[in-house]
Amino acid sequence: MSREMFVKLILYLLFKMLNLITMKTRLFFVAIVVAMFSSTTINAQINLGEKALGALQTGVASFTFSDEDAATMSKEAVRKMDSSNVVAGLKDGYTLRLNRIFGKHANENGLALNYKVYLTKDVNAFATADGSVRVFSGLMDIMDDNQLLAVIGHEIGHVANHDSRDAMKAALRKAAVVGAISSQSDKVAKLTDSQYGQLAGAIIDSKYSRKQESEADEFSYSFLKRNKYNVNAEESAFTILAAMSGGASSDFLSKMMSSHPDPQERADKAKARATVDGLYKPYVQIKFSNKAMTSQTKKTTKKKKK
């Protein structure tokens, strides 16, 4: 057996052993493995090279990454995002509107969801592995309640389908914090504030595969149908985004829509689903407002006594 084949066999056996030990011991063990194969002498002997070593570190970190790990790290990354954005207050019109239309779905699909509004003109929305849903006010400015629920339902679909966990893995690689995670002798959640900032940015920029996007679209349609909302709002929401893109990409479109498939194609598929169910009807946007409703007190004038 060649030396390279021997090393591959050892790595395979090590990976198998990782599933049989606790997280704390696992991470300590992983750190030793990565450190061992990082040495110049060993590198020269088995000819791994810098690129292959990076792949090894990434592979080790991903191999031991669970849903629980993703949720824990997402929670901290979202905390960093919340502190870096202007969050709508409890009495803000945007918050009140989101509470009204989405509050009842905080435990949708068995998930414990928490939600907030970022006050920004950007058109965006995302959900992370810990169940955090963040909606940008720019999105709420262009969509009515049903359309907004279609988009949020899509994002929840990514969490329910474990896409958010996979996105976290990709975010870890992009944020270049794999080494820090691998070297921890405690829990994976212990990163620096700066590293969580990097991770937050990578989460926002994360993209999903065509299959993941399609499945999230189907989840959104089922979400609307199950809760007796107008399912045609999904087609309408994608049509709005398609009109916004105009052949160019925005931050939101490049993340959520990516290049696979485009918004118009997804709108057509949403229409086809509604048609098959015998529910299709051209959607007309309903009037909406993001302003807080203020109760006006009537002034009473006292009559002068004669």
Domains in the chain and their CATH numbers?
A: 1-64 (no CATH), 69-169+197-276 (3.30.2010.10)
Where do we find the tokens 């820090």?
A: 180
Query: 3: which 2 tokens?
Result: 């030396």
Measured between alpha carbons, how far is 159 from 130 in angstroms, rounded to an integer? 8
Residue 70 predicted with pLDDT over 80 = yes
CA 40 to chain centre: 39
Per DSSP, 11 falls in state H
Measured between alpha carbons, how far is 124 from 8 in angstroms, rounded to an integer? 43
Q: Is the pTM of this model over 0.75?
A: no
Q: Which residues are known catalytic residues?
A: 155
pLDDT confidence of 224, banded at 50, 70, 90?
Answer: very high
pLDDT confidence of 33, banded at 50, 70, 90?
Answer: very low
The one-letter amino acid code at 303 reads: K
Residues 6+ apart with CB under 8 A from 200: 77, 78, 80, 81, 84
Q: Which residues pair with 118 in a beta bridge?
A: 87, 136
- Average pLDDT on 226-250 reads 84
Give residue 284's pLDDT. 97
Give residue 196's pLDDT. 83
The one-letter amino acid code at 6 reads: F
The one-letter amino acid code at 178 reads: V
The angle that helices 23-38 and 49-63 make with each other, rounded to 10 degrees, is 180
Measured between alpha carbons, how far is 267 from 272 in angstroms, rounded to an integer? 9
* Nearest one of 119, 123, 86, 151 to 290, comparing CA atoms: 119
Question: What's the angle, vertex CA 198, arms to CA 129 and CA 121, rounded to 5?
Answer: 80
Residue 68 predicted with pLDDT over 60 = yes
Residue 289 predicted with pLDDT over 60 = yes
Give residue 203's pLDDT. 78
Which one has a higher pLDDT value, 207 or 79? 79
Give residue 206's pLDDT. 74
Where do we find the tokens 């700066």?
A: 194
Measured between alpha carbons, how far is 202 from 168 in angstroms, rounded to an integer? 8
Residues 6+ apart with CB under 8 A from 274: 221, 231, 232, 234, 235, 280, 281
pLDDT confidence of 71, banded at 50, 70, 90?
Answer: confident
Measured between alpha carbons, how far is 212 from 269 in angstroms, rounded to an integer? 15
> Which phi and psi (to 5°) does residue 255 adopt?
-85, -60
> Which phi and psi (to 5°) does residue 134 adopt?
-125, 125
